[in-house]
A = this chain, B = another copy of it.
Amino acid sequence: MPKVPQISEAEWEVMRVLWARAPQTANEVCAALADSTTWSPRTIKTLLNRLVNKGALKYKPQGRAYHYLPAVSESACVRAASRSFLKRVFGGALTPMLVHFLEEEKLSADEIAELRSMLDERRD
């Protein structure tokens, strides 16, 4: 199990950009976040820097600017964050957590079908 760094809420936004497409320059990341956030480019540079420092991102000096890219996989980070959430909010109990989401949130017929087929595969 790869040890992933602690990634804050704002940092997740940045990571998602780079997991979706990498490498990218700081400016490209800023452009990608321009719609979904109101952050100053300064702020985004700070986040990139912190993520590099905590080992979540790497970069390659590419001419004038850096090209940033993930140093940890999205799936590993998702796994770590999911476990942390499960432990924190549901005391680690998976089924109550799933029940919560199934009861609380809206699901389309298609989504229900997809989940049912996944459960079918699990039945062995």
Contacts and interface: CB of A to CB of B under 8 A. Distances in A.
Interface of A: 9, 12, 16, 77-79, 81-82, 84-86, 88-91, 94-95, 97-105, 107, 109, 111-112, 114-116, 118-119, 122-123
B112 A122 contact: yes
Contact of A79 (B82, B86, B104, B107): B104
State the copy count for this chain.
2
Given A99-B118, A107-B122, A112-B119, A81 B85 contact: yes
Contacts of A91: 16
A119 B111 CA distance: 10
A101 B112 contact: no
A124 to B, nearest CB: 9
A3 to B, nearest CB: 17
Given A79-B100, A102-B119, A109-B123, 17 more contacts: A9-B88, A81-B89, A82-B101, A86-B101, A94-B111, A95-B114, A95-B115, A97-B101, A98-B101, A99-B114, A102-B115, A102-B118, A112-B119, A112-B123, A115-B115, A116-B119, A119-B119
